[in-house]
Amino acid sequence: MAFVRICSWNVNSVRARLPLVERLVAERAPDILCLQEIKVETDAFPRAAFRAMGYEHEAIFGQRGHHGVAILSRLALNKSESIDWCGLGDARHISAELPGGIRLHDFYVPAGGDVPDPDLNPRFAHKLAFLDEMIEWAKGLSEPTIALGDFNVAPLACDVWNHKALLSVVSHTPVETERLERLRAAHEWHDAVRAVFTAPQPIFTWWSYRARDWRASNRGRRLDHVWLSPDLAPALVGVEIVEEARGWERPSDHVPVLVDLDLGS
């Protein structure tokens, strides 16, 4: 095993973003790609393109039009499975076991709509219920675990461009950030990105498509996360937020998050 580079990336359609995934692979060579919002049915996933890039192992859970997650790997993947959060059948989670018995969980947490009130907005209620289910699930975990993906929550004040303004904006409201912290604490996960880019340094992984100039206004949020269970925390070697990918042609609104681990022999 030794060194393993893992990438988490909400690609906002894997078919639309294939050239950018190929560029990332050429330039950064991750061993494992964890994608979210692939927006394609499992059977229509462009497997051949990933095999051509050297990813021979796959765990894919797609869905027509919406959501969808996939793990593509140069290392063997075993016992892949998905949990049906909130019983809706949504393709928002896939997990697989890596060599060495590490379980890797790839999440696409609901965005939650616009209105931050669960009584008025069913999407926000769904997001909170989804996080509540994750908290209960995490309490029962024991194995070495990596949880990553688009959590759609920016937990810290320095994870958004304007903390006070975003306290009432879905993704940074107290009910969400408190839940995310309870989830993290439930398995004592280590936030790999914040272990390297420590607070209060602002770090973002998402910039809206709607900005005239995303780089100039820099109104970003850190919605994408990579968490390591305590036994894996010492394996952390490095992190890169591939911010430049937001400026590539026809970009996703999220950028890749790379985490390097030294898993020893």
Partner DNA sequence: ATGGTTGGGGGCCAA
Binding site for DNA (CB under 7 A): 12-13, 15-16, 37, 39-40, 64-66, 110-113, 123, 208-210, 250
Smallest distance, Å, CB 151 to DNA? 12
Please, which residue, 198 or 208, has the CB nearer to DNA?
208
Smallest distance, DNA to C-beta of residue 217, A: 10
Nearer to DNA, 16 or 199 (CB): 16
The nearer residue to DNA, 19 or 238, going by C-beta atoms, is 19
Find, among 230, 248, 235, 238, the residue nearest to 1 by Cα: 235
Please report where in the chains the tokens 């988490």 appear, as a residue.
8
Number of H helices, E strands in the chain: 7, 14
Closer CB to DNA, residue 28 or residue 123? 123
Q: How far is the CB of 254 from DNA (least distance, A)?
A: 9
Rounded to whole angstroms, what are the CA distances from 39 to 16, 154, 184? 10, 23, 27
Q: Considering the complex, what minimum distance in angstroms separates the CB of residue 97 from DNA? A: 29
Match 């019983």 to its residue by tokens: 87
> Cβ closer to DNA: 92 or 190?
92
Residues whose CB is less than 8 angstroms from the CB of residue 178 and which lie 6 or more positions away in sequence, other chains included: none
Q: Which is nearer to DNA, 46 or 202 (CB)?
A: 46
User: Closest approach of Cβ 248 to DNA, in Å?
Assistant: 11
d(CA 97, CA 42): 19
Tally of CB atoms within 10 A around 39: 20
- Give dist(CA 145, CA 71) in Å, integer: 15
With beta carbons less than 8 A apart as the criterion, state whether 66 and 39 touch: yes
Question: Measured from the CB of residue 42, what is the shortest distance to DNA in angstroms?
Answer: 12
